[in-house]
């Protein structure tokens, strides 16, 4: 009897998990914070010297996993006059769901001096 009860409980848990995983409804949030075409530009300072420029922008909407996503980019570059001291060419990209404001994908491409790193995450 106990084995049948345990089997039933395990079967129920697995069934509920499978049914829940098949639910394709995503959250929906109203976005009043940003829109396509926005761009932020920052000076990167090293003391009183401008060592670089960072630009964050939302250039377009792109489809990921059959969903519309904001393609958000963030680029950090040292200025030419600072390159001989420490050259930076970093790029970050995020794909954020338009309706639910959750991430689908993230990319990181770091180029700082002799150090480099590439990383991607899919959610």
50-80 pLDDT, tens digit each: 999 999 999 999 999 889 999 999 999 999 9
The reply to whether 55 falls in a domain is: yes
Q: Specify if 17 maps to a domain.
A: no
Cβ proximity of 76 and 88 under 8 Å: yes
* Residue 10 resides in a domain: no
Whether residue 18 lies inside any domain: the answer is no
Does a structural domain hold residue 85?
yes
Q: Tell me the sheet residues that pair with 23.
A: none
> Are the C-beta atoms of residues 41 and 55 closer than 8 Å to each other?
yes
Number of domains in the chain: 1
Say if 107 falls within a structural domain: yes
**33/107 Cα distance (integer angstroms):** 22
pLDDT greater than 70 at residue 5: no
Q: What was the pLDDT predicted at 86?
A: 93
* Better pLDDT: 91 or 27: 91
SS3 15: helix
- Distances in Å between the Cα of 75 and the Cα atoms of 36, 44, 81, 90, 112 are 17, 12, 18, 6, 12
Length, in residues, of the chain: 123
CB-CB neighbours of 3 under 10 Å: 7
Q: Which domain holds residue 65?
A: 27-122
Residue 20 forms part of a structural domain: no
pLDDT at 11 over 80: no
CB 122 within 8 A of CB 93: no
């Amino acid at each position: 009897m106990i084995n049948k009860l345990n089997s039933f409980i395990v079967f129920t848990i697995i069934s509920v998990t499978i049914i829940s995983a098949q639910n394709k409804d995503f959250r929906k949030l109203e976005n009043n914070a940003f829109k396509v075409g926005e761009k932020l530009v920052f000076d990167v300072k090293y003391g009183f010297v401008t060592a670089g420029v960072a630009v964050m922008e939302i250039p377009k909407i792109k489809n990921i996993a059959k969903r519309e996503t904001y393609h958000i980019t963030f680029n950090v570059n040292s200025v030419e006059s600072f390159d001989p001291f420490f050259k930076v060419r970093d790029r970050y990209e995020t794909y954020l769901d338009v309706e639910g404001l959750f991430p689908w994908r993230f990319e990181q491409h770091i180029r700082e001096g002799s150090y480099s790193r590439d990383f991607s995450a899919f959610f």
